[in-house]
Amino acid sequence: MNDPEGPGSTPGAFEPRGSEVRHVRRWPWVLAGLIAVALALAGGAVAYEQRGVAAEWRERSETLQAQRDAGIERERLLIDQREQLTRLVRRSEDDVVGLEDRLRALADEKAQAEDTATTVQVERDVFSEVTGRIVAATDALDSCVERLFELQTASVDAFNRSTAGEPVDVAPLNATAAQVTASCNEARNAAANAGAAADRLLAP
């Protein structure tokens, strides 16, 4: 017979071989059973949880689909509104541009009228100046002519007296002639000034 305990075993600690084998072989089966039960439970739990996750995904998908549809609809409405607003803005812009054009044209007319008024005012001032100078020239010429007549009268008188053999003092006559010359020179200057003013008025 073979020694079941092998070398060195104690005779007093002997146990039958059959019972030990049974004890050793049952333990893995129990463990396997427990693991199987645990796996079954875990699998069930996983399946249960996955069903929940799937439901969440489905719900989310439906929600997002609804959001997407609503978003697309909202976008379509917004685009419509934007196009309407753009049309309105363009129409308003056209109106504004038309009114601005009109306003600009009126402003231009007003500015031109002011230019004309300013020019007319300048011309009126120049006319007034020319008129004043012509009046001054006329007065000076009148004075010149009057003095010429006086000189002529004095000259004729002196000539007659000289012819009659009376003594004639020519000094007053010369003085009057000098005054007449000065007066007529003044008149000539005044006429020249009036002419220059008139030329400036007529200048482009």
Partner 1 sequence: MLVSSGLGACVEAPTEPLDDPGASSVVAFEAPDLAAGSLRRRAQEVTVRIRSLGCDQLGLGSGFVLPGGVVVTNRHVLVQPLTVTVNSWDGRSLAADVSGVAIDSDLAILRLESSEGLEVAELRSAPIEAGETIHAIGYPDGGPVTISSGMVLGVVDGSLLGEPADVIRIDATIRPGNSGGPLLDDDGRVVGVVFALETERGTGLAVPVATLLERLDEAELEAPAGC
Residue 82 within binding range of partner 1, rule CB under 8 A? yes
In terms of CB distance, is 79 or 175 closer to partner 1? 79
CA–CA dist 166, 153 (Å, integer): 17
**Rounded to whole angstroms, what are the CA distances from 127 to 124, 136, 183?**
5, 14, 25
Nearest alpha-carbon partner for 143 in 172, 178, 180: 180
Structure tokens of 112?
A: 């031109």
Residue 57 within binding range of partner 1, rule CB under 8 A? yes
Binding partner 1 (rule: CB under 8 A), the pick from 23, 26, 68, 161 is: 68
* Whether the Cβ atoms of residue 157 and residue 190 lie closer than 8 Å to each other: no
First to last CA, the chain: 155
Residue 39 within binding range of partner 1, rule CB under 8 A? no
CA–CA dist 124, 110 (Å, integer): 20
Query: Shortest distance, CB of residue 5 to partner 1, whole angstroms?
Result: 44
* Residue span binding partner 1 (CB under 8 A) among the ranges 17-25, 82-90, 136-144, 188-196: 82-90
Binding partner 1 (rule: CB under 8 A), the pick from 37, 39, 53, 88 is: 53
Signed CA dihedral, 87, 92, 96, 99: sign only: positive
* Residue span binding partner 1 (CB under 8 A) among the ranges 4-12, 20-28, 62-70, 166-174: 62-70
Sites of contact with partner 1 (CB under 8 A): 42, 45-46, 49-50, 53-54, 56-57, 60, 64, 67-68, 71-75, 78-79, 82, 86, 89-90, 93, 97, 100, 103-108, 110-112, 114-115, 118-119, 122, 200
